[in-house]
Amino acid sequence: MIDFGLRDRVILVTGAGSGIGRAVALHAATQGARIAVVDFSEADADGVVTEIKEAGGTAVALVADVRAEAEVEAAVSRCEEVLGPLDGVVACAGISRPAPAESLTLEGWSQVIDTNLTGAFLTARIAGSRLLARGGSLVVVSSVDGLGGHAGRVHYSASKFGVAGIVKSLAIEWGRRGVRVNAVAPGPVDTPLLRAIHSDEALAGGILVRTPLGRLALPADQANAILFLLSDAAAFVTGTLLPVDGGLTAGCFNDEPLS
C-alpha cells in the first residue's frame, strides 16, 4: 500500500459507515491517521470504528444527519474534542434515488438535493472553518454524473454538478488561507448496492463495455485517490474534479472496436 504520509493527522469522513466512505476511513486509519467516522447509522459507524480499533488504529464513531446543521456542528466539535484539531475532511455522505423526471416529486427531489448538495456544503462550511485556523485539505465525493447527465437521475446529477460549484468556489476563497478543496468523480463502484440494482449482464453490456479499463471501480480505488488529495503529494492541487472512472468519461466512442 502507498504511504500517503497521513500518520497522526485527524481526518473526518462523512458517510463513513459504508461504501467509499468506509474504504476511506479504513485506508486512512492503516496509514496512522486518527479517524472520525461520521454516519447517519450508528450501527454502521460503530462497526467501522470496531474494525479500525481491532487493527490497532484510532477512531471515534459520530452520528449525524448531514442535512442538519446542528448535528454536523456537534460532530465536528466532538471530533476535535476527542481526536484533536482537524487536518482533513472527506464529505462522502450521499444518496441516489432513481426516478423519471416527469414523475419525480418535490419531496424526492429535495431528499437528494438536501443530502448530496446541502449536506456537502454544511460539511464543508462547518469543518472547513476549523481547517482555516491551521490549513488542511477538504475532499468532496462527486460523481461522473456531475460531468454529464443521466436518465432517471436528474436530481442526483444536479446535486453533483452543484458539488463542482462548491469545490471550485471554495478553492478560490480558501486557497490563500491554506486550505485546498478538491473533489473526486467516481464511476460505478463495485458494491453490494450496485450488484443488487444491476445484473451481471447489465453491467457488462451497459458499463464495462464503455469502460476502457474493463472493470468496475473498487472502493479502494476511490479511497486511494482521496488519500492522495488529502496528502502533501497534492500540495499544489486545488479546485479540481478528478474522475476516478477507469476512463468511462474519456470519450464518446469507448465501446467502438478498433478498425
For the beta sheet containing 136-141, the strands, ordered from the edge strand earlier in sequence to the opposite edge, are 58-63, 34-39, 10-14, 88-91, 136-141, 179-186, 241-244
Q: What is the DSSP letter of 107?
A: H
Residues 204, 238 contacting (CB under 8 angstroms): no
Q: Which residues contact 118 (CB under 8 A, 6 or more apart)?
A: 66, 67
Q: How far apart are CA 239 and CA 15, in angstroms?
A: 22
Q: Catalytic residue positions?
A: 156
Q: How far apart are CA 195 and CA 27, in angstroms?
A: 23
Nearest to 229 by CA among 243, 212, 210: 243
Q: How far apart are CA 31 and CA 227, in angstroms?
A: 10
* Residue located via cell numbers 446529477: 157
- Assign 226 to helix, strand or coil: helix
